[in-house]
Each structure stands twice: as C-alpha cells, then as structure tokens.
Amino acid sequence: MGNQLSKYVLAGVLGTIVMTIVMIMAPNLGMPEMAPWKLLSGAMGVPIIIGWIMHFIIGILFALGYGYVFAPNVSIKNIWLKGIAFGIVALILAQIGMQVMGIMFEMPPMDGSMPMRLVAMLIGHLVFGVVTVKSIGK
C-alpha cells in the first residue's frame, strides 16, 4: 500500500512538472498565460510560493484520485487513451474547482480570449493526464 501511495504521489509531481513546463511555454506558442500558482495566490491573497505549493498538492491529489478511483473503475485498456480520458476528467474537475473558488474569492483577471484559454487548459490537462497515467503504468 505504501509503495503504491508513493508511486501515485511521484506520478502527480511528475505530471504537474511537465504540465507546468507546458504552461510556462504557452505564451511563446501563441496561447494565453496559464499560471494557476498566480491565480491561487492572487485569489487568496497569499505569497506566490503558497500558490506553487497548492498547485503541486492539487496535482498530487488528482494523481491519487486517478490511482484509487479512476483507474479501478475505467476499463480503457490503451494507456494513452486512458491518460487522455483522465486529463479530460482532471480538466472538468479543475474547472468546477475554479468556479467554487470564484464564489469564495475574488479571482484575478485571466489573459486571452475564452476559446484560447480553453484550448490552453485542454492541452495542459491532457499533458498532465498522459504523463501521470504513463508514470503510474498499468
């Protein structure tokens, strides 16, 4: 059990790192800035380091959700497709979380048009999903 937990935590960290690299590169690729660490810290009025920590904790929590809830209940055999499906679920859950945060806190403004933000968010979460699922393996 402990080994499995460690594997899920590590996969969440790795998925978050790769997703974050994509987010940092996004403006250079014509996409709006995606910086959830800034959004989290700005909304809650806490230092940026707290936003970074929360960003990684959320990634770890999503990976734990994958390992303990998603993977046992989704019968997709192809690991790439399973990663894509998980990335879409992560995106939906992240958007629900953002809506809840918007009710609780005053959210800072976001860059770019809504369609471009959606494309950027989709790409980021697909990358997260695939990297996380591939890191965990079958």
Tell me the pLDDT of the chain (138 aa) as tens digits: 579 999 999 999 999 999 999 999 988 988 888 888 988 898 888 999 999 999 999 999 999 999 999 999 999 999 999 999 999 999 999 989 888 887 887 777 776 677 888 888 899 999 999 999 999 986
Within 10 angstroms of residue 61's Cβ, the number of other Cβ atoms is: 14
Buried residues in 31-57 as b, exposed as e (16+ CB within 10 A):
bbebbbbbbbbbbeeeeeeebbebbee
Nearest CA among 88, 42, 101 for reference residue 62:
88
Tokens of 86: 């998980």
| Spatial distance between the Cα atoms of 67 and 83, rounded to a whole number of angstroms | 12
- The answer to whether 19 and 59 have CB atoms below 8 angstroms apart is yes
- The Cα angle at residue 31 between residues 30 and 36, in degrees rounded to 5: 145
Domain ranges of the chain: 2-136
| Spatial distance between the Cα atoms of 90 and 95, rounded to a whole number of angstroms | 9
